[in-house]
Structure 1
């Protein structure tokens, strides 16, 4: 009887440069490929935000659908189930008589705890994890994780390591395990949102990868990357990277190919520079553990903030006294995407102008952003709040200066109706809840 393997998909929704699939393709086994949708993703958390907003939900379903079709072409199938992952997988491992479980090794502390719980519930199964969401393997790092540099620059200078990608052998994948748990989720009813900036899925990711590197866009990235609006001003790979529809290694190798065949300049270097920033946050998240979500972050003392729900609601709804910030939040709410510059401005406003607990902003971004990445999101929010890896101790973006520099003619603000709900004052109630 051949070995029975369960592949637990998470943020690795691709076939190309998927080391787990590449290895499984050489196995003599029966294979069960499973993705579990957790109902808690759609319920409010401690910050009264949902981990998955509507835009992220849609991108996920699109990504699962495209992966399902690609697996069918290779003689496999994808089972999308719903429920608490440990409970669902524990039951499936028992029902399917699974010998081995393979999955990506994730950097988030909650995901690591989840995997540890599953291992404890299934002591008879072998568990194998592979790092698929990073440019490098941990064994490739030129230092122990405990010695990870406390800021980005020394990390970048140390990472002169070749980057390679894996290739899936041609032919069919191992035979699928046909027994299916009750009520699998149908993916062929996924809907399209007219406001969507990007379409989820591995094919969509590859189409964008080819289109982006087929022209002049990579050679002008450093010039345009700080613009607030415009699809072609930034690479837009982040959403597909977040779900693993494309790997960071594939993007990095595409930049290197562009440099070899077209041009090498500051802009192409800067794309790789940003991928290294992403990489640094991954390893920082793994090292930081639960302190990535701590109010005081990586510091010894807590920041001096308060929480005023009316201010937070105004920030979320785009009704602050700052038209540019309102426009940014309106775009985020409508599309599930905003530029990196917009994120910095909005985050700085919440922390500095509104004086609020940065964790609420991080949780709202987690809910709204299609390209939410636990390491980059919470790491960047700590960076802005002055409790992260920024050696300068936080960043305060002058909103008036940012408006003059990036939206001097108010094109962006008008497009996203930043003036429509602008409040004249920051608060409508005083410290004892009397109207001002």
Structure 2
């Protein structure tokens, strides 16, 4: 009797814990073939004088894929690593390994959805099913108190109804045994130079976070202890100069090295030990914002942006030759507040949420540069780039998102004073 082999196509879900797709594939097959594609589309230069995936995020991605591979190797198997477009390589894999079915996680942004559609069309011709899973959100869509088409466009309403009426499910356990498809050549993990970068290192590498499931779980564990300590220190002093707290979990969440549900339940466990505090609340709020933007893109697509003919006007809105835009990108605005944030972004691939609001508000409302220019640049630079969150946040700052009541921004007059004080050296923003 012919064995059933399932190809598990990993994308932004680079983990073993809480991975329904992987658990289901293992239970429904005799053996699995885990695959990761380094799609050249994500590393080619764009017409906007950027690359879709910059060096910081590429390094984080390479570390995360290597970590997933190591996890499979510990279970007696491996991860097949290939360079090329999934829609061009999938047919050969199905034939070579006698694959019965392909599993993958569904995305919501247009470019990622289009790739899935191309693969699905290809597999349909081969009479192979592409099974879709949804594992990027805290709440499953079927557990929401409303269908996708009726999700409130206002975040505050989405938050209130979801927290009141929806339930966060338990996490799927990491598998402790996997049967792998036999394979002699699992492929080589590329280096930065293989993916088009001139160097193998970058300025902020020493301070950069490390990718991978184990690193993410360790960071989360340490963070929960730190979060309680930072908050207790603040409340003990009753100081107005509160020590800044930033979870920096977003890189692992964006690549799926961490499950949102794992973060949620670990925060809840920490609350049972230390009590609720503003730091823990901030982490849970961040998970809700991620869900909101993903569901908004699922509901509206690019109609989320309240601009006439957004898709046709997008290319003319992005202007890489704009001189003030260049100064913003290169941290040469003359305002230390802005330049410090942009230097950190360029060197490390990360800035705090407050920093993102500050530099976005400055670009859009002070320099009068169209917001899509900033969104495209963040796409290249951020290690935690996620299409829905990035474009949704920029749209809200520009005032063209669906949530007209969003507080996702910095008060213009307040920012003007902050800029003036930063020049005089009198203040900084945590």
Q: Does 1:241 align with 2:246?
A: no
What is residue 341 of structure 1 aligned with on the other side?
Answer: 354
| DSSP-derived class of the 2:36 partner | strand
1:322-361 matches, within 5 Å, as: 322-361=335-374
How many residue pairs were aligned?
407
Q: Does 1:260 align with 2:275?
A: no
The answer on whether the counterparts of 1:82 and 1:185 sit within 8 Å (CA) in structure 2 is no
The answer on whether the counterparts of 1:221 and 1:267 sit within 8 Å (CA) in structure 2 is no
Q: Does 1:176 align with 2:191?
A: no
CA distance in 2, matches of 1:129, 1:406: 49
- Normalised by the length of structure 2, the TM-score is 0.85
CA distance in 2, matches of 1:276, 1:368: 24
CA distance in 2, matches of 1:188, 1:354: 34
Deviations 1:356-405 (A, max 9, x none): 12111101001000011111100000001110034248845343333478
- Deviation larger for 22-31 or 320-329: 22-31
What is residue 108 of structure 1 aligned with on the other side?
Answer: 109
Q: Does 1:373 align with 2:386?
A: yes
CA distance in 2, matches of 1:295, 1:318: 29
Q: In the superposition, relative to structure 1, how do residues 298 and 150 fare at CA in structure 2: closer, same or farther (>3 Å)?
A: farther
Which residues of structure 2 form unaligned runs of 5+?
A: 194-199
What is residue 135 of structure 2 aligned with on the other side?
Answer: 132
Q: Quick one: which of 220, 224, 248 aligns to 1:213?
A: 224
Q: Quick one: which of 143, 146, 149 aligns to 2:146?
A: 143
Per-residue deviation, 1:90: 2.8
What is residue 196 of structure 2 aligned with on the other side?
Answer: none
| DSSP-derived class of the 1:200 partner | coil
What is residue 80 of structure 2 aligned with on the other side?
Answer: 79
Per-residue deviation, 1:167: 2.9
Q: Quick one: which of 189, 197, 202 aligns to 1:185?
A: 189
Deviations 1:184-224 (A, max 9, x none): 43579987963443110111001111111234447739989
The answer on whether the counterparts of 2:35 and 2:79 sit within 8 Å (CA) in structure 1 is yes
Q: In the superposition, relative to structure 1, how do residues 222 and 276 fare at CA in structure 2: closer, same or farther (>3 Å)?
A: farther
The answer on whether the counterparts of 2:17 and 2:174 sit within 8 Å (CA) in structure 1 is no
CA distance in 1, matches of 2:190, 2:380: 24
The answer on whether the counterparts of 2:318 and 2:373 sit within 8 Å (CA) in structure 1 is no
Q: In the superposition, relative to structure 1, how do residues 392 and 221 fare at CA in structure 2: closer, same or farther (>3 Å)?
A: farther
Q: In the superposition, relative to structure 1, how do residues 407 and 74 fare at CA in structure 2: closer, same or farther (>3 Å)?
A: farther
What is residue 382 of structure 1 aligned with on the other side?
Answer: 395
Deviations 1:92-142 (A, max 9, x none): 223222110001111112211211111111121111111110011111111
| DSSP-derived class of the 2:103 partner | strand
| DSSP-derived class of the 1:75 partner | coil
The answer on whether the counterparts of 1:108 and 1:374 sit within 8 Å (CA) in structure 2 is yes
Per-residue deviation, 1:20: 1.4
The answer on whether the counterparts of 2:154 and 2:405 sit within 8 Å (CA) in structure 1 is no
CA distance in 2, matches of 1:222, 1:143: 41
Which residues of structure 1 form unaligned runs of 5+?
A: 416-436
Per-residue deviation, 1:409: 4.9
- Deviation larger for 103-112 or 9-18: 103-112
- Deviation larger for 199-208 or 321-330: 321-330
CA distance in 2, matches of 1:191, 1:97: 40
CA distance in 1, matches of 2:283, 2:423: 24
The answer on whether the counterparts of 2:123 and 2:130 sit within 8 Å (CA) in structure 1 is no
| DSSP-derived class of the 1:233 partner | coil
- Deviation larger for 36-45 or 327-336: 36-45
- Normalised by the length of structure 1, the TM-score is 0.84
Q: Note the aligned Cα RMSD (angstroms).
A: 3.4
Q: Which has the higher helix share?
A: 2
- Deviation larger for 312-321 or 241-250: 312-321
- Deviation larger for 286-295 or 331-340: 286-295
Q: In the superposition, relative to structure 1, how do residues 37 and 45 fare at CA in structure 2: closer, same or farther (>3 Å)?
A: same
The answer on whether the counterparts of 1:221 and 1:268 sit within 8 Å (CA) in structure 2 is no
Q: In the superposition, relative to structure 1, how do residues 377 and 186 fare at CA in structure 2: closer, same or farther (>3 Å)?
A: closer
The answer on whether the counterparts of 2:346 and 2:381 sit within 8 Å (CA) in structure 1 is yes
- Deviation larger for 22-31 or 308-317: 22-31
Q: In the superposition, relative to structure 1, how do residues 218 and 244 fare at CA in structure 2: closer, same or farther (>3 Å)?
A: farther
